[in-house]
């Protein structure tokens, strides 16, 4: 070693705040810590001994911008380049918040952080030339608007002769976290959860292969949660949703195989690998003890995305190294599928070439690194098992604490979750500024950039074009059919019936997303606040 | 509407015991980690912060700033809508004779857009990697420069 003895202390503290030993020479002292083999309860090491030996994790490239034609071109490019994760649709903010593209609140935001969708014909344009069965999966971050997004794809299958069993639709459909970490809510929490459950129940009955909910921690992590808290709060929310659907007749023992838990992966390799293992263990134990799920229904879908938070504007090509480590961490954690950010994404939507590079990162790890040759390769590592145990302990302790508050919705209302996130974010910022945490290019190896990445530019005319398309749909549809459909939607909302049949009918009559969401605003009351402490 | 000073305000903003800053989230972007970290950082530095919460129109932010007799407005924007938000805010402030309230912006803002933001009256722009001491300094400078 030729460092000339220069002192450069490592932070020696995990991102969870766990103390780290100089070395580990044995398994964790807790008797329950020895992880049984993959396929054995509580499945810390995985749900089977197959892992990636026969199938690779799904490589999902989240994309969307402008109007449906523009987004469509990007999806086709990604599919051609190996996006086995299918069509992964980023929706613009007006769409996500249930505003039509010509709503005053949408001005300047249409097609900016995702694709703008207003009516069913937009979805047809979005999928032009894409064989959904071949693509295998469709994903969208529809949360507050999940019933509409589901209805769009459901109707698409009907009108275009696609067998819903030939692919999976995955809808994020997790409104609770919006109130503390993402901010697209527009209804009171209870109403939003009721609608989320409507989607789950309808999907389970009509499209049982689809994944109608992806309970997500990734946004809470990016809002400041540590990996362990990310896992804990996600699981607390999953308990809330699954309790709700069970009350309405769908037990977890039936639904669990189509439940998705979604997380993000940041930079501490080991904290993240341990987290994914701890999640499998914690959720399996909760599924068994609280919900009576038998072992053969334990395999839920474990999903991840590489977090955008560590990506830097400074020296952006460094982000390729970051993305590589993040993907490596999540596959060593054993995810089923993962989204990957792109190296130029700190400042803009990914360019085509950057998005392809992210696919290549996944493909290189899959095909060149040997990581697929055995299941849970780091299982048995004393460090990993110790971190897994500690993370699991935090999860179970926080879930119990949240139970005592009355569940995760109560923990949102009383500010507990929001405060933990805000504290975490502030602590991280101070640690960065005090150099207790390093980011290369930001507080180490800072230098002027010669390299400016090709910045992807939104086509500024797409907002106006989208508005014209929307007006054309409004002009050509049968207004009385729309009115009838919206009245029926209002009726089922007030009657506490599942809204999905009415939403599908509304979408089929070319009701706009704004019109549908306005029914909910009228019935349930509009609520746009959070429970956040600044 | 003429900007009416509150009873506590004195003739020169910098002779007030502390700076009053609005931290605002214009438009539809719901990611408020930055806004909250900045709010807390400013408060720790002795600045009085009024955080507007999410989904404010630029016009509403101008109104809040005027009603609160703010010395500076800090916008946090991550959605790419910063140019239209800042232009609309500048218009709203001017319409209410409050164009002298300085505006600072932070978020996902590419270098290319900094000049256009300055043309829209923005005093300082912070990009990813910004540090709290620099933001505090910019707030103090902007507030102190007010006449």
CATH number, position B90: 3.40.50.280
**CA distance linking residue A98 with residue A186, whole number of Å:** 8
| First vs last C-alpha separation in chain A | 47
Q: Which of residues 134-173 of A touch B (CB under 8 A)?
A: none
B2 is a domain residue: no
Q: Mind telling me how many Å the CA of B1 is from chain A's nearest CA?
A: 24
Tokens describing residue A424: 């975490």
B10 is a domain residue: no
Of B28, B33, B35, the CB nearest to A109: B28
What residue numbers bound the domain in which B71 lies? 19-144
Chain B residues in contact with A528 by the CB 8 A cut-off are: 54-55
**CA distance linking residue A489 with residue A495, whole number of Å:** 10
**CA distance linking residue A447 with residue A450, whole number of Å:** 9
Q: Which distant-in-sequence residues (6+ apart) come within 8 Å of B44 by Cβ?
A: none
Do residues A44 and A28 touch, judged by C-beta distance below 8 A?
Answer: no
What are the boundaries of each domain within chain A? Answer: 56-366+376-433
* Any B CB within 8 A of A529 CB: yes
Q: Give the chain A residue whose CA is nearest to the CA of B44.
A: A426
Q: Give the chain B residue whose CA is nearest to the CA of A453.
A: B110
* Any B CB within 8 A of A459 CB: no
* Any B CB within 8 A of A308 CB: no
Q: Mind telling me how many Å the CA of B6 is from chain A's nearest CA?
A: 24
Instruction: Give the ranges where A11-143 is alpha helix by DSSP (H).
Output: 68-80, 93-96, 120-126, 132-135
Instruction: Give the ranges where A292-376 is alpha helix by DSSP (H).
Output: 318-332, 352-368
In this prediction, residue A346 carries a pLDDT of: 86
> Measuring CA to CA, which residue among A423, A499, A2 is closest to residue A201?
A499
Q: Give the chain B residue whose CA is nearest to the CA of A309.
A: B128
B11 is a domain residue: no
User: Is the predicted pLDDT of residue B3 greater than 70, yes or no?
Assistant: no
Q: Mind telling me how many Å the CA of B2 is from chain A's nearest CA?
A: 26
Counting one residue from chain A and one from chain B, the pairs whose CB atoms sit within 8 A come to 109
B124 strand-pairing partners: B104
Tokens describing residue A78: 């990604």
Q: Does domain A56-366+376-433 have CATH number 3.20.20.240?
A: yes
Tokens describing residue A104: 């005053």
B1 is a domain residue: no
The per-residue pLDDT of chain B, averaged, comes to 89
Q: Which residue has the tokens 């700033």?
A: B65
Task: Categorise residue A173: left if φ over 0, alpha if ψ from -120 to 50, beta otherwise.
Answer: left
Q: How many Cβ atoms are within 10 Å of A350's Cβ, its own excluded?
A: 23
Q: How far is CA A273 from the centre of its chain?
A: 18
Q: Which distant-in-sequence residues (6+ apart) come within 8 Å of A224 by Cβ?
A: A420, A421, A422, A423, A424, A425, A426, A427, A428, B33
Confidence at B8, pLDDT banded by 50, 70, 90: very low
In this prediction, residue A12 carries a pLDDT of: 65
Of B30, B84, B109, the CB nearest to A182: B30
Chain A residues in contact with B80 by the CB 8 A cut-off are: 112-113, 348, 458
Chain B residues in contact with A530 by the CB 8 A cut-off are: 32, 53-54
User: Is the predicted pLDDT of residue B147 greater than 50, yes or no?
Assistant: no
Q: Do A107 and B84 touch (CB under 8 A)?
A: yes
Confidence at B10, pLDDT banded by 50, 70, 90: very low
A13 strand-pairing partners: A19
Q: Mind telling me how many Å the CA of A323 is from chain B's nearest CA?
A: 17
Helix (H, G, I), strand (E, B) or coil at B21: strand
Do residues B61 and B52 touch, judged by C-beta distance below 8 A?
Answer: yes
pLDDT tens digits in sequence order for chain A, 534 residues long: 445 778 888 876 788 999 899 999 988 876 555 689 999 999 999 999 999 999 999 999 999 999 999 999 999 999 999 999 999 999 999 999 999 999 999 999 999 999 999 999 999 999 999 999 999 999 999 999 999 999 999 999 999 999 999 999 999 999 999 999 999 999 999 999 999 999 999 999 999 999 999 999 999 999 999 999 999 999 999 999 999 999 999 999 999 999 999 999 999 999 999 999 999 999 999 999 999 999 999 999 999 999 999 999 999 999 999 999 999 999 999 999 999 999 999 888 899 999 999 999 999 999 999 999 999 999 999 999 999 999 999 999 999 999 999 999 999 999 999 999 999 999 999 999 998 889 999 989 998 876 777 778 888 899 999 999 999 999 999 999 999 999 999 999 999 999 999 999 999 999 999 999 999 999 999 998 766 554
Tokens describing residue A496: 């506490």
Of B29, B111, B132, the CB nearest to A433: B132
B112 is a domain residue: yes
How many distinct structural domains can be found in chain B? Answer: 1
Q: Do A455 and B33 touch (CB under 8 A)?
A: no
> Measuring CA to CA, which residue among A197, A282, A294, A281 is closest to residue A254?
A294
Flag whether the ipTM exceeds 0.85: yes
Sign of CA dihedral A330, A393, A288, A259: negative
B95 is a domain residue: yes
Q: Mind telling me how many Å the CA of B80 is from chain A's nearest CA?
A: 7
**CA distance linking residue A491 with residue A477, whole number of Å:** 22
B9 is a domain residue: no
Q: Do B85 and A105 touch (CB under 8 A)?
A: no
The enclosing H or E element of A59 equals: strand A58-60
* Best to test chain B binding among A91, A107, A108 (most B CBs inside 10 Å): A108
* Average pLDDT of the residues in B88-92: 97
* Any B CB within 8 A of A472 CB: no
> Measuring CA to CA, which residue among A152, A137, A201 is closest to residue A513?
A152
Residues of B at the A interface, defined by Cβ within 8 angstroms: 23, 27-33, 35-37, 39-41, 49, 51, 53-55, 57, 79-81, 83-85, 108-112, 127-129, 131-133
Q: Mind telling me how many Å the CA of A179 is from chain B's nearest CA?
A: 9
Higher pLDDT, B11 or A384: A384
Chain B residues in contact with A458 by the CB 8 A cut-off are: 80
Q: Do A534 and B131 touch (CB under 8 A)?
A: no
Chain A residues in contact with B111 by the CB 8 A cut-off are: 452
Of A109, A346, A425, the CB nearest to B36: A425
* Best to test chain A binding among B45, B76, B128 (most A CBs inside 10 Å): B128
B75 is a domain residue: yes
**CA distance linking residue A315 with residue A267, whole number of Å:** 17
The enclosing H or E element of A265 equals: strand A260-265
**Full strand arrangement of the beta sheet holding A260-265:** A58-60, A337-339, A301-306, A260-265, A214-216
Chain B residues in contact with A453 by the CB 8 A cut-off are: none
Confidence at B11, pLDDT banded by 50, 70, 90: very low
Q: Mind telling me how many Å the CA of B75 is from chain A's nearest CA?
A: 14
């Amino acid at each position: 070693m030729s460092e000339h003895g220069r002192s450069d202390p490592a932070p020696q503290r995990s991102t969870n705040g766990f103390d780290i030993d100089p070395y580990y020479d044995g398994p964790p002292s807790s008797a329950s810590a020895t992880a049984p083999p993959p396929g054995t309860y509580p499945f810390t090491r995985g749900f089977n001994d197959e892992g990636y030996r026969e199938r690779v994790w799904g490589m999902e490239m989240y994309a969307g911008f402008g109007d449906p034609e523009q987004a469509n071109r990007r999806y086709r490019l990604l599919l051609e380049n190996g996006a086995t994760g299918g069509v992964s649709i980023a929706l613009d903010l007006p769409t996500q918040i249930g505003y039509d593209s010509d709503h005053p609140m949408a001005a300047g935001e249409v097609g900016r952080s995702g694709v703008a969708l207003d009516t069913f014909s937009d979805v047809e344009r979005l999928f032009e030339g894409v064989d959904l069965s071949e693509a295998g999966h469709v994903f969208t971050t529809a949360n507050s608007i999940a019933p509409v997004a589901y209805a769009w794809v459901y109707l698409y299958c009907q009108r275009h002769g696609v067998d819903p069993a030939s692919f999976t639709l995955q809808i994020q459909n997790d409104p609770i976290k919006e109130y503390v970490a993402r901010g697209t809510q527009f209804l009171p929490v209870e109403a939003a959860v009721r609608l989320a459950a409507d989607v789950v129940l309808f999907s389970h009955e009509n499209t049982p292969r689809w994944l109608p909910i992806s309970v997500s921690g990734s946004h809470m992590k990016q809002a400041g949660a540590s990996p362990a808290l990310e896992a804990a709060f996600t699981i607390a929310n999953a308990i809330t949703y699954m309790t709700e659907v069970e009350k309405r007749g769908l037990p977890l023992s039936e639904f669990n195989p189509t439940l998705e838990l979604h997380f993000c992966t940041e930079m501490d390799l080991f904290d993240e690998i341990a987290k994914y293992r701890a999640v499998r263990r914690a959720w399996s134990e909760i599924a068994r003890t609280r919900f009576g799920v038998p072992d053969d229904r334990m395999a839920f879908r474990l999903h991840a995305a590489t977090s955008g938070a560590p990506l830097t504007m400074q020296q952006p090509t460094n982000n390729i190294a970051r993305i590589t480590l993040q993907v490596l961490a999540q596959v060593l954690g054993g995810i089923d599928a993962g989204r990957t950010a792109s190296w130029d994404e700190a400042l803009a939507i990914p360019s085509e070439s950057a998005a392809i590079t992210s696919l290549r990162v996944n493909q290189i790890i899959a095909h060149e690194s040997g990581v697929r040759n055995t299941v849970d390769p780091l299982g048995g590592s004393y460090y990993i098992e110790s971190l897994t145990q500690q993370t699991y302990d935090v999860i179970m302790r926080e879930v119990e604490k949240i139970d005592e508050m009355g569940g995760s919705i109560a923990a949102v209302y009383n500010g507990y979750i929001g405060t933990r996130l805000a504290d975490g974010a502030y602590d991280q910022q101070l640690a960065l500024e005090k150099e207790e945490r390093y980011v290369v290019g930001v507080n180490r190896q800072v230098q002027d950039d010669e390299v400016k990445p090709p910045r992807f530019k939104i086509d500024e005319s797409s907002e106006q074009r989208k508005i014209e398309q929307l007006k054309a749909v409004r002009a050509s549809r049968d207004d009385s059919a729309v009115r009838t459909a919206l009245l029926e939607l209002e009726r089922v909302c007030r009657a506490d019936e599942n809204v999905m049949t009415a939403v599908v009918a509304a979408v089929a009559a070319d009701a706009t997303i704004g019109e549908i969401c306005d029914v909910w605003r009228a019935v349930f009351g509009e609520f746009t606040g959070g429970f956040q402490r600044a | 509407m003429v900007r009416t000073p509150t009873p506590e305000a004195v003739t020169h903003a910098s002779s007030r015991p502390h700076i009053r800053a609005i931290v605002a989230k214009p438009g539809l972007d719901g990611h408020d980690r930055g806004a909250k970290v900045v709010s807390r950082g400013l408060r720790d530095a002795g600045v009085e912060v009024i955080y507007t919460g999410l989904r404010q129109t630029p016009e509403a932010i101008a109104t809040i700033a005027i009603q609160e007799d703010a010395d500076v407005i800090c916008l946090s924007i991550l959605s790419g809508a910063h140019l239209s938000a800042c232009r609309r805010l500048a218009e709203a402030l001017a319409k209410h004779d409050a164009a002298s309230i300085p505006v600072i912006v932070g978020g996902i803002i590419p270098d290319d857009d900094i000049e256009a933001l300055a043309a829209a009256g923005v005093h300082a722009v912070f990009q990813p990697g910004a540090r709290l001491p620099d933001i505090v300094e910019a707030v103090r400078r902007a507030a102190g420069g007010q006449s």
